[in-house]
Structure 1
Amino acid sequence: MRKRVAILGSTGSIGTQALDVVQAAPERFEVVALAAGGGNPDLLARQAIAHEVETVAVAHATAAQDVQLALYAEAQRRGWERGDHRVPRLLAGPDAAAEVARTPCDVVLNGMTGAVGLLPTLAALEAGTTVALANKESLIVGGDLVLSAARPGQLVPVDSEHSALAQALRGEDPADIRRLLVTASGGPFRGRCRADLADVTPEQAMAHPTWDMGPVITINSATLVNKGLEVIEAHLLFGVDFDRIDVVVHPGSVVHSMVEFVDGSTVVQASPPDMRLPIALGLAWPQRVPGAARGCDWTTPTQWKFEPLDDEAFPAVQVARRAGRFGRTAPAVFNAANEVCVDAFVAGDLGFLGIVDTVSAVVEDHLADPDTLGDLTLQRVLAVDAWAREQAATRIEQTRGGTR
């Protein structure tokens, strides 16, 4: 029986590759619903009509008319007048993705970017659906709210690093884990010192050497914020203390993560950098999808290089560890401040080094507030998310004013 899949963030990097996986294995999967921001109506319409989905959702209500027209045009182009293709139901607004997440199906792939993925993740978990989680931010921001809403095995990681860890840990006793080793490519600025990064441009930051990702994740990879988020995610997913989660730079991006066990053994998951493999595994978990991606070429001489992370040039992981160890709403502050800073960097309102510097300052402001010790609730998460964005924006404006 085919698995019914809903894809959130269908026009982004994860979403488009997920549809490639589905198209390559029609006997395994069928797509029943799609959700996207609405900024690419033609692509969304092509996806929806090609996969004959039942429901399409857009986050921006202003995009609804453009998407509706694109759906009609695509259906007509493919033979709508002959009855070959029907137009799906269209939902629009900030709650549309969460409504799609409640669609009766087997798997919800959350490929959204940022904290906006939290409510759809919670909606899917509450509906009892397996969540293939590429939207790491929803787990990091929601923390125990997400974990308590999930039954065992309901959250399946899609990030290549956490998919690798999940594969390495299958059938293992958690008591036998010595440490988790999360690999990082090092991004486009690996080997540079802090002073070399002062004049980095958005174009340079988005030129990742091995992965083809969306702009936000690519810039997060350049600052190593993405790796900081992944350390928090690994702690939450696998219940391993931060002191036993290390980051190792591996420029080739072939080894996606490793688990070292108490007897000295290290289990490695390796494959060429291709997100279709962890996406396919996330959709089919615990089964594998034959031919999801190519394997390593063992007939060609090759070397795997590993090196320690330079925390002085790239302090983002240490800032993330501080937020993660404190827990509660601190990871939400880390993520929200970073989202604002990335937007400001792209707009030319903040320097590259200012991203992590500003995030760190906002996190420290939050940790100094005694109210951070309260219980974690959805209302508090949403409130502190808004607070962190405002604080980051204020600091960015002050920085700009000081340089005029």
Structure 2
Amino acid sequence: MIPRQIVLLGSTGSIGTQAIDIVRRNPDRFRVVALGAGGGNVALLAQQALELGVEAVGVARASTAQDLQLAFYAEAQRRGWSAGEFKLPKILAGPQAMTELAQWPADIVLNGVVGSLGLAPTLAALKAGRILALANKESLVAGGPLVRAVAAPGQIVPVDSEHSALAQCLRGGAQSEVRRLILTASGGAFRGRRREELGAVTVEEALKHPTWDMGPVVTINSATLVNKGLEVIEAHELFGVAYDDIEVMVHPQSVLHSLVEFTDGSTLAQASPPDMRLPIALALGWPDRVPYAAEPVDWTQAHNWELRPLDREAFPAVELAKAAGRAGRCRPAIYNAANEECVAAFTAGRLPFLAIVDTVAEIVDGAPDYDEPGTVEDVLAAEHWARTRAHELIKEKSA
């Protein structure tokens, strides 16, 4: 078996480090040829690069290029290597580094970059003909029309656990047989609470996710259900299913990762313990599975799994996301960018919890009448407007 050649963007983050763990345990199946990261942890990046023997390394911050080179020598010294025992990979640095790496000769590009910075590498990988293992949901949320214009059928394989589950369930029938998609949500830190119980919740409470260990922004997005709104837009873009046919249900155990209902009345669900190594491994090996990627459900034990309807009054973010998706014309990008600013204001104590989504709704509703984006610059311009407007409203609300 010839190992699949992988470019890994976002290698020092959660997705990247778990992907490397999968590669490390399956050297006969996968080989990483290039790594990219923001540049905030050059020591780890150098360690990854020398361990994997990659051809190229990129950092988004040009100022960290020299730090990365020094980190290579420090890591080599730690391993006891002399100067002639190893070859430095090519170093790319600056805003275009990730885009350049996305076109590096390889079979698969795993895009684990955080935020809208992942859009340009997504487009570059698709245009270069690579299979795209996509963990950067902003690529589809903010730049859906741009991605659709260049992606070939089957070229994008989702890494998010919910969308990976949908992709697996969709193998059970033809596109014409799909009635609806059901995305499951853990419910976040405040599941079960009514809107009137959320007015005074604290940042510390919002960061206590009951199931997943994630970064602060994603954890707070889980508490507001904005993350599920983003995933609804992503599911629409990935699978071409109408927004009216995408539902969200709260599933506290996070074992049923999503479901697909078919026209004959049957429903298929994908079940596994919450472990991102499974969807990452499946994306790297797609359409084949990677044995022992993660632990399975223990079928010798009893299980109680719940599915509850989403309380749309307490958590309006999903319906707001659907409305933004239906409207198009950069509204999804505005939804995402405005939310990032509102979450930052909440964590800084300048905005109460309920005002996060309320402010995002105000911004989306008052957005200019943009055209559908034709370039990355169009998306970035709409996001800039959203962030500026968010700052104005946050200042008014915190005065």
Instruction: Write the letter of the residue equivalent to 2:326.
Output: R
Instruction: Write the letter of the residue equivalent to 2:228.
Output: K
Instruction: Give 3-state SS (helix, strand or coil) of 1:124's partner.
Output: helix
Q: CA deviation at 1:373?
A: 4.1
Note the 1:1-40 alignment, pairs <5 A: 1-40=2-41
Aligned equivalents of 1:105, 1:13: Cα separation in 2:
22
Note the 1:230-241 alignment, pairs <5 A: 230-241=231-242
- Alignment-derived partner of residue 387 in structure 2: 389
Instruction: Give 3-state SS (helix, strand or coil) of 2:383's partner.
Output: helix
Query: Structure 1 residues 65 and 377, CA, compared in 2 at 3 Å: closer, same or farther?
Result: closer
- Alignment-derived partner of residue 302 in structure 1: 303
Aligned equivalents of 1:243, 1:91: Cα separation in 2:
44
Query: Are 1:4 and 1:31, in contact at CA under 8 Å, matched by a contact in 2?
Result: yes
Instruction: Write the letter of the residue equivalent to 2:149.
Output: S
Aligned equivalents of 1:155, 1:234: Cα separation in 2:
12
Query: Are 2:341 and 2:390, in contact at CA under 8 Å, matched by a contact in 1?
Result: yes
Which digits, 9 at most, give the CA deviation of each residue in 1:210-264, with x for residues without a partner? 1122222222111111100011111111111111100010000000000011111
- Alignment-derived partner of residue 376 in structure 2: 378
- Alignment-derived partner of residue 229 in structure 1: 230
TM-score, normalised via structure 1 length: 0.95
Which digits, 9 at most, give the CA deviation of each residue in 1:244-288, with x for residues without a partner? 100010000000000011111000100000000000011111011
Aligned equivalents of 1:273, 1:19: Cα separation in 2:
18
- Alignment-derived partner of residue 70 in structure 2: 69
Query: Structure 1 residues 77 and 398, CA, compared in 2 at 3 Å: closer, same or farther?
Result: same
Instruction: Write the letter of the residue equivalent to 1:225.
Output: V
Which digits, 9 at most, give the CA deviation of each residue in 1:101-123, with x for residues without a partner? 11111111111111111001011
Aligned equivalents of 2:80, 2:33: Cα separation in 1:
20
Which deviates more, 342-351 or 31-40?
Answer: 342-351
Q: Does 1:218 align with 2:216?
A: no
Instruction: Give 3-state SS (helix, strand or coil) of 2:345's partner.
Output: helix
Note the 1:319-358 alignment, pairs <5 A: 319-358=320-359
Instruction: Write the letter of the residue equivalent to 1:372.
Output: Y
- Alignment-derived partner of residue 134 in structure 1: 135
- Alignment-derived partner of residue 105 in structure 1: 106
Q: CA deviation at 1:345?
A: 2.2
Query: Are 1:75 and 1:87, in contact at CA under 8 Å, matched by a contact in 2?
Result: no
Aligned equivalents of 1:236, 1:186: Cα separation in 2:
23
- Alignment-derived partner of residue 192 in structure 2: 191
Instruction: Give 3-state SS (helix, strand or coil) of 1:248's partner.
Output: strand
Query: Are 1:143 and 1:328, in contact at CA under 8 Å, matched by a contact in 2?
Result: no
TM-score, normalised via structure 2 length: 0.96
- Alignment-derived partner of residue 283 in structure 1: 284
Q: CA deviation at 1:206?
A: 2.2
- Alignment-derived partner of residue 59 in structure 2: 58
Q: % of aligned pairs identical?
A: 62
Q: CA deviation at 1:207?
A: 1.9
Query: Structure 1 residues 84 and 188, CA, compared in 2 at 3 Å: closer, same or farther?
Result: farther
- Structure 1 unaligned segments of length 5 or more: list them: none
Query: Are 2:373 and 2:379, in contact at CA under 8 Å, matched by a contact in 1?
Result: no
Aligned equivalents of 1:46, 1:346: Cα separation in 2:
33
Aligned equivalents of 2:223, 2:299: Cα separation in 1:
30
Query: Structure 1 residues 280 and 192, CA, compared in 2 at 3 Å: closer, same or farther?
Result: same
Query: Are 2:172 and 2:268, in contact at CA under 8 Å, matched by a contact in 1?
Result: no
- Structure 2 unaligned segments of length 5 or more: list them: none
Aligned equivalents of 1:76, 1:88: Cα separation in 2:
16
Instruction: Give 3-state SS (helix, strand or coil) of 1:257's partner.
Output: strand
Instruction: Give 3-state SS (helix, strand or coil) of 1:372's partner.
Output: coil
Instruction: Give 3-state SS (helix, strand or coil) of 1:47's partner.
Output: helix
Query: Structure 1 residues 318 and 158, CA, compared in 2 at 3 Å: closer, same or farther?
Result: same
Which deviates more, 193-202 or 143-152?
Answer: 193-202
Which deviates more, 62-71 or 291-300?
Answer: 62-71
Q: CA deviation at 1:171?
A: 5.3
Which deviates more, 241-250 or 33-42?
Answer: 33-42
Aligned equivalents of 2:75, 2:18: Cα separation in 1:
21
Query: Are 2:145 and 2:373, in contact at CA under 8 Å, matched by a contact in 1?
Result: no
Which deviates more, 294-303 or 77-86?
Answer: 77-86
State the Cα RMSD in Å. 1.4
Instruction: Write the letter of the residue equivalent to 1:133.
Output: L
Note the 1:137-216 alignment, pairs <5 A: 137-170=138-171, 172-216=173-217
Query: Are 2:146 and 2:373, in contact at CA under 8 Å, matched by a contact in 1?
Result: no
- Alignment-derived partner of residue 317 in structure 1: 318
Aligned equivalents of 1:225, 1:375: Cα separation in 2:
22
Instruction: Give 3-state SS (helix, strand or coil) of 2:179's partner.
Output: strand
Query: Are 1:6 and 1:33, in contact at CA under 8 Å, matched by a contact in 2?
Result: yes
Which deviates more, 209-218 or 117-126?
Answer: 209-218
Query: Structure 1 residues 291 and 374, CA, compared in 2 at 3 Å: closer, same or farther?
Result: closer
Query: Are 2:185 and 2:250, in contact at CA under 8 Å, matched by a contact in 1?
Result: yes
Query: Are 1:115 and 1:335, in contact at CA under 8 Å, matched by a contact in 2?
Result: no
Aligned equivalents of 2:128, 2:372: Cα separation in 1:
28
Instruction: Give 3-state SS (helix, strand or coil) of 2:333's partner.
Output: helix
Q: CA deviation at 1:78?
A: 1.6
